[in-house]
A and B are shown apart, each in its own frame.
Chain A
Amino acid sequence: MAAADFYFAINATFRFILQNYGEEALHRYWRALGAEYYAPLADRFRTGGLDEVARYWTAFFAAEPGGDVSVAREKDEVILTVRECPAIRWLRLHNREICPGYCQHCRHVSTAIAENAGMRFTLTGGGGTCEQTFSLRDGESPA
């Protein structure tokens, strides 16, 4: 199991960029992270399709410490139902001030990953509870 205290560093990193360089800079950081660091993951999604998306996120949330998330492979999409986000849970548990817009990193990072994989990403909700969807772009057939 990964060390949950690393959520403190992720939170502090977002705040450092936000406070020193502004909101747009934080969005650019997230987009770049999704496009560059996670490029190998986008390749996996592009090659393996929605089955790989479901496999990845199922294993991902099994490895993160805590949280309550289910992953559903539907016909044309994969839906992540986050009932309790492991990061938000840990930060709240330890009385850490959560960086404003923390939840938006999922939107920006996963959108960049999805775009590179030829997919679409949507997110609704926030504050520790949300629904995230990876779907195929119109006209693309499932792998």
Chain B
Amino acid sequence: MIGVQDFCGHYDWTFAYLRHTYGEAALQRYWAEAIAFDSQRHAYELIRDKGFDGMEAYWGHTLTQEEAGYAITRTEDVFRIDMHDCPSKGFLIENGLAAYDDYCAHCMGWIGPVAQRAGFTIDHEHNHRGQCWWQLYRPDEAADLNAARAKAGDKNVELRPDWRRGDRHVYRQCRQMPPEHEDSPDAAT
């Protein structure tokens, strides 16, 4: 039986299998369809119906269940997550597993489509060391992105001394930025 206790291990292996067998586009479609709107349809329904309250209900439940080290910060127009100790990536690191070369990409792979269909967009960075941040907001509103970062205070994962030690991938409005963007001044302010 395939269990949930080592889920992240066979999930990671499955990413590599799908890409190797069917191509990168198939893997992206797997995240954007099967994970986003089949597996995680409860997340989509919460976010679609309740906005930031739905996000808090979903991630508050899920990340607590997974025993993650994280913080949620809300302002009037931004929902922010600072992940300090991702249990999913942490499982892979702890067990020396890396079948797929960018495991962290799966989160944007499914959360991006969910957020966009629910009327939100996302800025996000991850450093492949089990740390990342997310800011979700409505793209048609003038969201104060720096206010959420400031309100996070010392929970802001970008302030960690080891934040920049990882290989950071940067997304703005759900789109991955080219590598040169990763050292831009606003990336960690």
Interface residues of A (CB under 8 A from B): 2-13, 15-16, 20-21, 29, 32-33, 36-37, 60, 63-65, 85-87, 94, 105-106, 109-110
User: B39, A85: Cβ atoms under 8 Å?
Assistant: no
B17 within 8 A of A: yes
Chain A residues, Cβ within 8 Å of B7: 2-3, 6, 9-10
A-B contact pairs, 20 of them (CB 8 A): A2-B5, A2-B7, A6-B11, A7-B4, A9-B7, A10-B7, A12-B39, A15-B38, A20-B26, A29-B21, A33-B13, A33-B14, A33-B17, A60-B1, A64-B3, A64-B4, A64-B5, A65-B4, A86-B3, A87-B4
B45 within 8 A of A: no
CB closest chain-A residue, reference B8? A6
CB of B50 to closest CB in A, whole Å: 18
Chain B residues, Cβ within 8 Å of A87: 1-4
B168 within 8 A of A: no
Contact size class for B? Answer: 20 to 34
**Ranked 9 nearest A-B pairs via Cβ:** A16-B34, A12-B39, A12-B38, A6-B4, A6-B7, A2-B5, A2-B4, A9-B39, A37-B13
**How many angstroms from the CA of A16 to the CA of B40 in the assembled complex?**
14
User: A8, B14: Cβ atoms under 8 Å?
Assistant: no
Chain B residues, Cβ within 8 Å of A5: 62, 65
CB closest chain-B residue, reference A85? B1
Chain B residues, Cβ within 8 Å of A33: 2, 10, 13-14, 17
Given known A12-B34, A16-B38, contact A36–B13 (CB-CB < 8 A): yes
CB closest chain-A residue, reference B41? A8
Given known A9-B7, A13-B34, A15-B34, contact A106–B17 (CB-CB < 8 A): no
